[in-house]
Amino acid sequence: MENGKKTLREIYGQPQVWRECLKTLDTLDLGVLVGDKAPQTCEWLFVGCGTSYYLAQAAAASLMSLLGVRARAVPASEILLFPRLVIPKDSAIFPVLISRSGHTSEVLQVAEFFNRYDVAFLAVTCDGRELQTMTPRTLKLPVEEESTVMTSSFTSMLMGLQYLSAYFAKQKEFIEGLKSLPEAVEKLLPIYAPQVEAFAQQTFEDVAFLAQGALYPIASETALKVMESSSSYAQFFHALEFRHGPKSIVAEKVLVGGLISESGYAQESAVLLEMKGLGGTTLAIANEISPAVRESADLAIELGLAAPELARLVAYLVWGQLLGSHLGLSKGLNPDEPRNLSRVVTIAGQG
Ligand code: F1P
């Protein structure tokens, strides 16, 4: 099979996978799944590793935005190494363990930890494996993903957790917004995917993705896709933080990608315009691209979605997934077999 074919197929196949996941979510009794752990009654603690940790961050931001309750995200390793830093002594938490494989050693160890202390938790997974046997509460998305790097599994599990949050917030229009994404993104792919592929033919000496709010974990995951799929370094920052030092990296062959929100558009787009002024190469992704950004950016991707702002997160990520794969391919690498990576991280002697 030619390089990257499997991963690219899964990236392009996301809209159809989202349709299937949304159909499944419509049939589930989410109230039973969560029981007396509704977000209004306890703090939800989202847990994952790697891509699934950024997913956890996006899910926590979504729950807080939709319900106005406290929610946090931590890497599984932090619970294992510094539980006192993560788990408050007196307040009730409801952990949500996120793992595509359900086989990642650190996540299984966290599941054992919570079971040992009788802390009920929700598992969110695609493959299931051991994780789904460790709790009676599992949200399993119908995603069959062969690629090493996570693409449709990330967007589908995030969509599932956003659906769950909107269910508790009784926000039917939010769920309808999620349901509008498959068709909308199917229309965007033929327009912008070729532009992303062409854009990826150039080499970059440094790469940084910028975002604020619930898009920040999407910028983090975008950077991770570039790192994993092209074995090149990429960073991520809160957009306005980039001025406070990191912008010293900006030069001609430095890519600065802005995942620009609607709410913070003026302030976030100003940073991207400034980086272009410093000689950087810029990529702008926004729901509506202003004339100034369209004029300035080297590549501007306009989503034009009718969905509520928070429901658009997964539609921002598709372009970074494609960029990572095409940067890898243009370097002669194979994104289907990323250097040094395996589909699941298991730690010797720990499952
Ligand atoms: C988590 C993970 C991914 C990473 C790679 C290896 O897997 O670390 O974040 O991109 O695919 O596995 P999981 O716990 O979600 O299965």
Report the amino acid identity of residue 213.
G
Tens of pLDDT along 301-341?
Answer: 999 999 999 999 999 999 999 999 999 999 999 999 999 98
Delimit the domains of the chain by residue range.
5-176, 181-330
Given a contact cutoff of 8 angstroms between Cβ atoms, the answer to whether 76 and 49 are in contact is yes
- Regarding the beta carbon of 64 and ligand 1, being less than 6 Å apart is answered no
Tens of pLDDT along 23-70?
Answer: 999 999 999 899 899 888 899 999 999 999 999 999 999 999 999 999
Q: What's the confidence (pLDDT) of residue 117? A: 93
Tens of pLDDT along 125-176?
Answer: 999 999 999 999 999 999 999 999 999 999 999 999 999 999 999 999 999 9
Is residue 284's pLDDT more than 90?
yes
Fold of 181-330: Rossmann fold (3.40.50)
Distance between CA atoms of residues 331 and 135, nearest Å: 43
Read off the pLDDT band of 297 (50, 70, 90). very high
Kindly state the tokens that stand for 65.
């935005």
Tell me how far the alpha carbon of residue 347 lies from the centroid of ligand 1, in angstroms: 13
Given a contact cutoff of 8 angstroms between Cβ atoms, the answer to whether 267 and 242 are in contact is no
Q: Which of 100, 103, 226, 231 most suits a substitution to test ligand 1, by most atoms within 8 Å of the C-beta?
A: 100
- Regarding the beta carbon of 148 and ligand 1, being less than 6 Å apart is answered yes
**Alpha helices, DSSP H only, in the chain?**
5-12, 14-27, 30-34, 51-67, 76-81, 83-86, 105-116, 129-133, 152-168, 172-179, 181-199, 216-230, 265-277, 291-296, 313-330
- The reply to whether 181-330 shares the fold of 5-176 is yes
Distance between CA atoms of residues 325 and 140, nearest Å: 27
Tens of pLDDT along 17-28?
Answer: 999 999 999 999
Tens of pLDDT along 182-241?
Answer: 999 999 999 999 999 999 999 999 999 999 999 999 999 999 999 999 999 999 999 999
Tell me how far the alpha carbon of residue 51 lies from the centroid of ligand 1, in angstroms: 6
User: How many CB atoms sit inside 10 A of residue 69's CB?
Assistant: 17
- Regarding the beta carbon of 345 and ligand 1, being less than 6 Å apart is answered yes
- Regarding the beta carbon of 282 and ligand 1, being less than 6 Å apart is answered no
Q: What's the confidence (pLDDT) of residue 350? A: 61
Read off the pLDDT band of 103 (50, 70, 90). very high
What percent of the chain shows pLDDT beyond 70? 99
- For strand 206-211 and strand 254-259, is the pairing parallel, antiparallel, or unpaired? parallel
Q: What's the confidence (pLDDT) of residue 348? A: 75
Q: Which of 134, 140, 158, 345 most suits a substitution to test ligand 1, by most atoms within 8 Å of the C-beta?
A: 345
Q: What is the CA radius of gyration of the chain?
A: 20
pTM beyond 0.95, yes or no: yes
Evaluate whether the domain defined by 5-176 bears CATH number 3.40.50.10490: yes
Q: How far is CA 115 from CA 55, 131, 139, in A?
A: 23, 12, 18
- Regarding the beta carbon of 99 and ligand 1, being less than 6 Å apart is answered yes
Tell me how far the alpha carbon of residue 344 lies from the centroid of ligand 1, in angstroms: 5
Distance between CA atoms of residues 166 and 83, nearest Å: 30
- Regarding the beta carbon of 344 and ligand 1, being less than 6 Å apart is answered yes
Residue nearest ligand 1's atom 8 by CA: 50
- Regarding the beta carbon of 49 and ligand 1, being less than 6 Å apart is answered yes
Read off the pLDDT band of 89 (50, 70, 90). confident
